[in-house]
A and B are shown apart, each in its own frame.
Chain A
Amino acid sequence: MVATGATAAAMLDPMHYYRAKRDRERRTVLKTYKILGFISSGTYGRVYKAVLLPSPASKGNTNKSTLPSSARAALSIPKDKLPSPTTSISSSNATISDPLNNPELCMRPGDLPAKEGDVFAIKKFKPDKEGDVLTYAGISQSGAREIMLNRELHHRNLVALREVILEDKAIYMVFEYAEHDFLQIIHHHSQTTRTPIPSPTLRRLLHQLLCGVHFLHSNFCLHRDLKPANILVNSSGVVKIGDLGLARLWHKPLAQGGLFGGDKVVVTIWYRAPELILGAKHYTAAVDIWAIGCIYAELLALRPIFKGDEAKMDGKKQLPFQRDQMGKICEVLGPVKADQWPGIVHMPEYKTYLSSGPYPNPNPLPSWYQHRSTSSQGYDLLTRLFEWDPARRLTAREALAHPWFQEEGGVAAKSVFEGSSVTYPTRRVTHEDNGDAKMGSLPPSMAHPRLPSSSNFRPASATLTGQPPPRKKARM
């Protein structure tokens, strides 16, 4: 029962009871999942590997009369909202109907079902800090996007979001776990086996990637950060596109200045389309297609095809022209000819492009390709993905219909690994805190206190490739 003191405190704050109720109901990360280890970190936060714990309810009487989550979904209202004299506070029956002891009760409509022992990747967003104290400064734009889009979009080639948990001023997104990713596969071939990726595998990887991107595009969603590290492959050989933090819907009303208004810089530099480098303020789904072309080339060559150095912003507000990146592209494709891209003269940075030349003239793409593959259809697809003019570049739908995908038995196989003798290493998981696998580090309040900048946290991409990871684009 409520003491008078608490009432007095509540008088000052009408949200007192609401917060108490919600906090009590909250499904906590550690009650639901066992953390197996740490996967990677980035500017957004960290990713952990975790396994679903058995729910307390499933141990005892499973078919208890508690409302199943589906019924709750149908009602669209939580159980305790139904008229009953003892709404809220002091429900002393600490049985399985108590959400605290039964996380399954806290499932929301739209959450994905899972069974005990299922493995997940938990992405923990870095909480905001003011000095040493955690504060709420509002969820970042990329966090909001990722939650919004992953909750709404479901496709075989899109990494599935099981649920979102908010705890200790931090966001935890629980994704399905994927054992591999494009970067790791490329690295395995370039460093360990020193053989090219088998062409049936390569073809299926690209095909499934295009399937996922086509799905995104037909849902009016631009990914805007396609790169090998963001494209995952699970152990049954299905491609899963991840990281929708830069993605956005484009049928929505545009901010001042169109797509450009929200995010000044999109797509990691090596995968950035020429229209973006030339400062286009209104770009299209073709920017994703360019990135796919780069990924295709990287799968063939096992190294990035346009590996330019990013020009940094030097104090000024103005974005620098990415001369080096443009140069790298021209080295392979040759400089832009007027008939290849008539619209280039309207690009904001066109003059800078001209003045920062001259760019090397030869076009070594044909010989570049011949070193790596003999399929003329494969070359045709690559050149169409690398079309200078975004309007002429293939769309995802057109690319999927390209005859190259029908060569060598096509892409009907469900698993990209089918028929391949290569076995890829499993994802490296580190155990922080001297192998204390029980937890690693999360949430901070439960782990042993340690310095946030512990040397245990090397970026995963760096440990994987042995080369500096692709620079993160500035998020603004």
Chain B
Amino acid sequence: MSSSFWSSSHCLHWLITRPALLISRHLDLQYCTPKQLYCLHIFFTQLIQKLGKRLLLRQIPIATACTFFKRFYLKNSICETNPYLVLAACVFVAAKVEETPVHIKSVVSEAKVVFNEYNIKLFPAETNKLGEMEFYLLEDLDFHLVIFHPYRALLHITGREPADSGKFPLSRTEEDQRFKKKELETRKKKDEEIRKSNLNTVGNKPSPGVGLVNGNKDVNEDDENQLEAKRIRRLMGRGSTEGIGEVDEGVLQISWFILNDTYRTDVHLLYPPYIIAISAIYVAFCLTSMNSSSASRTRTSSSSSQLNSVQSSTTINEQLGLDPPPNSASNFLAGFQVNLNILFACVQDIIRLYSIWESFEPTSMRNTNNPQNQQQNHLKSVLGGASMTGTEDGIDGKKEKFGFEEAEVLVRKMIESRLVDMGHPNNAGANQTAKRSLPTGASDGIDQSSVIGKKRVRK
């Protein structure tokens, strides 16, 4: 369903386990290292973003295109397809799905411009090729096109947008007041009826009447407890975040940027969107507390634009007789009661991106013209630098350059090698088994370099 994540195709068919993800990539990993493959996905995401920007698409269609792309490569391998054609088709379909359609011809012409920039010659600039690819893409997506992005979850969680938008005509407080009024009236009526019936019965049969009254009282108390529990459940069940808590504007901004970055990773195949959103908030909280020596939350002047300030949260909760909103980041996050193992696995996946991304595309290389980029770059350098010290050397061993240029070369090499292997299946089989026996981490094996590392060997 398009309003409930839990019954959506996204939830039912497209969240997979990490082993399944690894299995789906086994073929590509015969032609490149895991880190190179990771970088390739950063590379392709970058291209999708560039193409989307040129087509004047907003972030949501771009995010949808990225998700389509990742889903497509769950069933296929980069080395057996033309990723640039796939990527353009993803953008084309995503634009339609998100109701901002672009003409097939402009996709082709803009893609040509973007790909030229990176010296990519593999893209066939023909509309019918792209149209054909669209068909294959839809098939491989199993025609599941509605995607739940963490952006909405982020806005709900931070109280910027009520999750129940449009569904309920009254605010929670109003609804609660009406509900209480009604309850009071019905109780009055009931009491009167009981009194009346008691009056009638008392005259005739005194002893059982007394018993009845006592029984009624007990029932009433039980009822009341149940009603109260029901009331709280009803108030919380609206999915509205009124009065739940408050997140600072700066934290929200950073969380949003982090979400943009997550489309370079696999988290959208592994975790539901609300986990990704909470992970982004978590990372954002950590970053802001790292920067400012104050408490876990920083307050900026821009917080006036929020829908709910702390104060209104407090008063709403007071009116409703609920617990006060959480007053610290950890309480706030704990309030969601998500599985911490899953949450931190997701956080790890997000943090891991930055060090690899930094080495693939150093911050210094990126243009720093607009402020959004600047903030994102800042993010990357902070996070990239932070985690660089620990993990980087293990994966990389030698400091070799692997950037956009190398990525483009690698894609071509992978496709060519795969074609050669397909042409000589027996040979390929032998090669494959040899390659598979290599530990995946040791990327500089002899076998590997014969396929993709020719450049390096020549040096």
Q: Chain A residues in contact with chain B, CB under 8 A?
A: 1-2, 4, 7, 10-11, 13-15, 17-19, 22, 26, 73, 75-78, 81-83, 85, 87-89, 108-110, 128, 135-139, 141, 144, 147-149, 151-154, 164, 166, 169, 218-221, 248-249, 251-255, 262
Contacts and interface: CB of A to CB of B under 8 A. Distances in A.
A88 B75 CA distance: 13
Contacts of B1: 152-154, 219
Contact of B136 (A19, A78, A141, A254): A19
B419 A10 contact: yes
Given A14-B80, A110-B12, A166-B139, 20 more contacts: A14-B122, A14-B415, A18-B81, A76-B16, A85-B429, A89-B422, A109-B9, A135-B127, A135-B131, A136-B129, A136-B135, A138-B104, A139-B93, A141-B96, A144-B145, A151-B144, A152-B9, A152-B144, A248-B99, A253-B99
A254 B143 CA distance: 22
Given A15-B82, A17-B80, A144-B93, A108 B143 contact: yes
12 contacts: A1-B425, A14-B415, A76-B13, A109-B142, A110-B143, A138-B104, A139-B134, A147-B143, A149-B2, A220-B3, A252-B99, A253-B60
Contacts of B98: 252-253
B13 A153 contact: no
Interface in B19-70: 20, 23-24, 26-27, 58, 60-61
A175 B1 CA distance: 18
B146 A81 contact: no
B122 A136 contact: no
B143 A77 contact: no
A135 B24 contact: no
Contacts of B80: 14, 17-18, 88
Nearest to B86: A15
Chain B binding surface, main DSSP class: helix
Contacts of B85: 15
A7 B423 contact: yes
Contacts of A75: 16, 20
A152 B2 contact: yes
B422 A139 contact: no
Contact of B134 (A77, A136, A253): A136
Interface of B: 1-4, 8-9, 12-14, 16, 20, 23-24, 26-27, 58, 60-61, 74-76, 80-82, 85, 92-93, 96-101, 103-104, 122, 124, 127-136, 138-140, 142-146, 152, 165-167, 415-416, 419, 422-423, 425, 429, 432-433
Given A14-B122, A136-B132, A139-B134, A220 B82 contact: no
Contacts of A164: 138, 143
Contact of A2 (B13, B133, B423): B423
Nearest to B98: A252
Nearest to A106: B139
B81 A15 contact: yes
A138 B131 contact: yes
A81 B24 contact: yes
Contact of B131 (A137, A154, A218, A220): A137
Contacts, number: 177
Contacts of B75: 77-78, 81
Nearest to A78: B75
A194 to B, nearest CB: 43
A215 B26 CA distance: 43
Contacts of A108: 142-143
A153 B96 CA distance: 18
A14 B13 contact: no
B138 A139 contact: yes
Nearest to A4: B423
A218 B3 contact: yes
B332 to A, nearest CB: 25
B27 to A, nearest CB: 7
A203 to B, nearest CB: 26
Nearest to A154: B1
A249 B1 CA distance: 11
Contacts of B24: 77, 81
A148 B145 contact: yes
B132 A139 contact: no
Nearest to B433: A85
Contacts of B133: 15
Instruction: Choose among A87, A152, A166, A218 the residue with the greatest number of B CB atoms under 10 Å from its CB.
Output: A152
Contacts of A109: 9, 12-13, 142, 144
Nearest to A89: B422
Given A76-B13, A81-B23, A85-B432, A137 B127 contact: yes
A341 to B, nearest CB: 19
Given A7-B419, A15-B81, A220-B3, A73 B99 contact: no
